[in-house]
Structure 1
Amino acid sequence: MPATQPVKKGRREPVALHSHAMDNLRYIRRAMESSASFTSVPGLAGIVIGITALVAAVLAGTRFADQWLAVWVADAVFALAFGGWAMTRKARGEGIQLSRGVGRRFLFSLTPPLVAAVVLTVVLQRMGASEAIPGTWLLLYGAGVVTGGTFSVRPVPVMGVSFMILGVVALAAPPSWSNALLAAGFGGLHIIFGAIIARRYGG
């Protein structure tokens, strides 16, 4: 009687290893996408934006005091355009698409408070409550930076909180302090945190 041979069962280890390897690859890909989008915030652009804000503060506080709102709005338009260009340029240099992944969430989180600031600027100006505009700008910009900074490097949300604190101070302070507080926020904070980001995470 021939000896029976044990039936060899198929080994499942390769399947398990393959599945585990794929999970690791997906995790690595997500981690790489997250870290790449974090560094897309341009520090050097923040310094430039801060310098132009200081120039705007000087102009709005002296020669163009009667047109302070127009001066700051012009500076805000430049800051948004230049900052957007610098972020896009840095992201392309690193092979990152800001229209997807964490970069997209960063932009979508930053945008709504900025839109709210634009709407409230128009409303407050029409109501004759322009003295509340600087505090509103600082507070809402800070809120946008905090929410967007959730997907960015650590100094970004810290900067946002600093802006919000200045916004509260500006809303409670006399109107004569407004220009100085705008300079401290959009000028000083951008320069300080821009330098930190540029040094730690590249320009």
Structure 2
Amino acid sequence: MKQDTARKQEEQTPSLHGRAMENLEYIRDAMQRSTEFTAVPGYGGVLMGVTAIGAGIIAEIQTEPLYWLATWMVEALLAFLIGSLAMWQKSRDADTALIRSRPAQKFAIGFLPPLLAGVILTGLILYRGSPSILPPVWLALYGASVVTGGAYSVKPVPLMGWIFMLIGGAAVFARPELGNYFMIAGFGVVHIIFGLIIGRKYGG
């Protein structure tokens, strides 16, 4: 009788241990979600990259700087809409608040200042009549936004921002006519690569 009781206790011990580990894993994931902004677009980022490549191809064949600029402005608006919709969908699937959550607010506070600086510099550059330096400025400041906002997000996000900044830095030293190709490499290829990484590891 005592042997049967001991055997049952031994059988229950691994089961209890397994449940305890599952509970600890759940708690760890919940705490991580409460401190990280996880609604960054994954496959939405892939779509942003695809549209950026399309915009880059269209911009490349433009003969007037104004049309080149208009093409990328339309792409920026389209990317914003895609990214916003993807984040909303991802947060809804995870049953988390997109705007009211503390991680989302921290992400926005980190993300917006470099982006606003980019808007101001864009106006100044156009006023000065030097549109050829827009690609490195856009890439570098967008990268800075992703790095500072990504400090409150999942690990691949700040890394993506640093790569944008490196591409922007390289564009500074390249011939002006190559700026559009750097835009395609950054806003197109980098978004696709990291969108796939984020989508597969952290959900769409």
Amino acid at match of 1:95: D
Amino acid at match of 1:112: P
Structure 2 stretches of 5 or more lacking a match? 1-26
Amino acid at match of 2:129: G
Deviation (angstroms), 1:143: 0.2
Give 1:54-65 correspondences, 5 Å limit: 54-62=53-61, 64-65=62-63
Deviation (angstroms), 1:30: 4.3
Contact 1:132 1:171 in 2 (8 A): yes
What corresponds to 2:52 in structure 1? 53
- Separation (CA, whole Å) in 1 of partners of 2:171 and 2:69: 15
Contact 1:59 1:65 in 2 (8 A): no
Amino acid at match of 1:174: R
Change (3 A) 1:70 1:151: same
CA-atom RMSD in angstroms = 1.7
What corresponds to 2:174 in structure 1? 173
What corresponds to 1:15 in structure 2? none
Deviation (angstroms), 1:119: 1.1
What corresponds to 1:127 in structure 2? 128
- Separation (CA, whole Å) in 1 of partners of 2:105 and 2:74: 26
Identity of aligned residues (%): 41
Secondary structure, counterpart of 2:95 in structure 1: coil
- Separation (CA, whole Å) in 2 of partners of 1:86 and 1:188: 18
Contact 2:137 2:168 in 1 (8 A): yes
Change (3 A) 1:58 1:198: same
What corresponds to 1:74 in structure 2? 74
Change (3 A) 1:65 1:197: farther
Amino acid at match of 1:78: L
In the TM superposition, structure 1's runs of 4+ consecutive aligned residues that sit over 2 Å from their partners are 27-32
Contact 1:145 1:156 in 2 (8 A): yes
TM-score, length-scaled by structure 1: 0.81
Query: Is 1:157 the counterpart of 2:158 in the alignment?
Result: yes
- Separation (CA, whole Å) in 2 of partners of 1:76 and 1:52: 10
TM-score, length-scaled by structure 2: 0.81
What corresponds to 1:194 in structure 2? 195
What corresponds to 1:95 in structure 2? 95
What corresponds to 2:41 in structure 1? 42
Amino acid at match of 2:90: K
- Separation (CA, whole Å) in 2 of partners of 1:145 and 1:172: 22
Give 1:6-45 correspondences, 5 Å limit: 30-35=31-36, 37-38=37-38, 40-45=39-44
Deviation (angstroms), 1:100: 2.4
**1:30-85 residue CA offsets vs partner (Å, 9 max, x unmatched):** 444125x32x11210100000000000100001x3421111001100110122012
What corresponds to 1:13 in structure 2? none
Structure 1 stretches of 5 or more lacking a match? 1-26
